[in-house]
Structure 1
Amino acid sequence: MGVVRIEDGQLADTQYSLLKPPPGHDHFEPGNIRIHGIRPQDVINAPSYGQYWRWLVDRLEADDPDGILVAHNAIFDTGVIRAANQAVGEPARPWRYTCTLRLSRAAYQLRSYSLPAVSHAVGVSLENHHNALADAQACAGIVMDLARRSAAGSMEELAAHYGTKILSANL
């Protein structure tokens, strides 16, 4: 899991950890290994998903209880988080989120809106695509570029400027 926290338009913090999948969800598909390069032996000493998620939520809520999650193709990420939380019996929490894929489609004229393509177009480095922290840093860079272009002072202003929404989900 990779997390980048932006505060007042600046990078404030990053977190990264490999996670041990919940029992019953710990099969490593060869296709996913090819994409991410993460193998079962890589997570032997990693924290469990449940441990890490509780620690991360406590930290994020302490730093910014009104924070908004941002991901590229956020519907995928929110679905994974929801399923993982259900698998470990973690209670669902309401989260607000938005999507850099949707924002990018509204803001830029590109041939592709993949994370590498958008990152490249806005001059954000993405050297290790599919590494969770590298992808999170690329999303943060896209958000900061969009905020600069729109002069938005908040995620709500940014979403409104580009005609997208801040969504809510129980994750």
Structure 2
Amino acid sequence: MPVSFTAIDFETANRSPASACALGVVRVRDGQVVDTRYSLIRPPLGHDGFEPGNVRIHGIRPADVAHAPTFDLLWDWMCENISPEDPDSVLVAHNAVFDTGVIKAANRACGGTARNWDYACTLRLARAAYTLRSYALPSASRAAGAEVVEHHNALSDSLACAGIVLDLARRSGARSMAELTAHYGDRLQRATL
């Protein structure tokens, strides 16, 4: 299962998709985790209020991010370290519409330069591959044998997401993300983020 990809997960401070307050990144190359990264994020002004419901979910508070890097610094790191030529440049997220929406909105709020990314959604793939009562990340990752350790911790969720892809690659024999998504009746998506 030599698939390569980068699993990501964001937590947000409030309902604004630009309010990213944590990022987890898991890079997988040829079926092996080669790098992980976790960072708190200081949301951009105007998107930096923390709603109690969000804090209850992930436990991140304003004081925790007071000295954290801003999204644009982390976006620069992503762009510098994950280039389109890299085999692990395909982004993967559970409910990728949310995470790609966070990238797009936060990048716009910080005045960053958008770029094209290919991505896949493990929520969609799990629905095609598993028969479950719930396809939420804890259930889907449990079915993959990669149960999420601390749900709503961005790195833990990214690792669980990566575990789903690796399980699906093992089951399908896929050797690329394009092959894997096609096997489960889906395709890689492309977005300008």
TM-score (norm 1): 0.96
Unaligned runs of 5+ in 1: none
Contact map agreement 2:29 2:88 (CA 8 A) in 1 = no
Alignment of 1:15-164 (within 5 A): 15-61=37-83, 64=86, 67-164=89-186
User: Could you tell me how far apart the structure 2 residues matched to 1:99 and 1:62 are?
Assistant: 18
User: Could you tell me how far apart the structure 2 residues matched to 1:17 and 1:124 are?
Assistant: 22
* Secondary structure, aligned partner of 2:120: strand
User: Could you tell me how far apart the structure 1 residues matched to 2:77 and 2:30 are?
Assistant: 23
Deviation at 1:92?
A: 1.2
1:166 is matched with 188
More strand by share: 2
Unaligned runs of 5+ in 2: 1-22
Structure 1 ranges of 4+ moved more than 4 A = none
User: Could you tell me how far apart the structure 1 residues matched to 2:84 and 2:168 are?
Assistant: 26
* Secondary structure, aligned partner of 2:83: helix
2:20 is matched with none
Letter in 2 for 1:73: N
Deviation at 1:56?
A: 2.1
* Secondary structure, aligned partner of 2:164: helix
CA 1:28–1:63 in structure 2 vs 1: closer, same or farther (change >3 Å)? farther
Deviation at 1:65?
A: 6.6
Contact map agreement 2:120 2:189 (CA 8 A) in 1 = yes
- RMSD across aligned C-alpha pairs, in angstroms? 1.3
Letter in 1 for 2:110: V
CA 1:63–1:166 in structure 2 vs 1: closer, same or farther (change >3 Å)? closer
Deviation at 1:125?
A: 2.7
2:27 is matched with 5
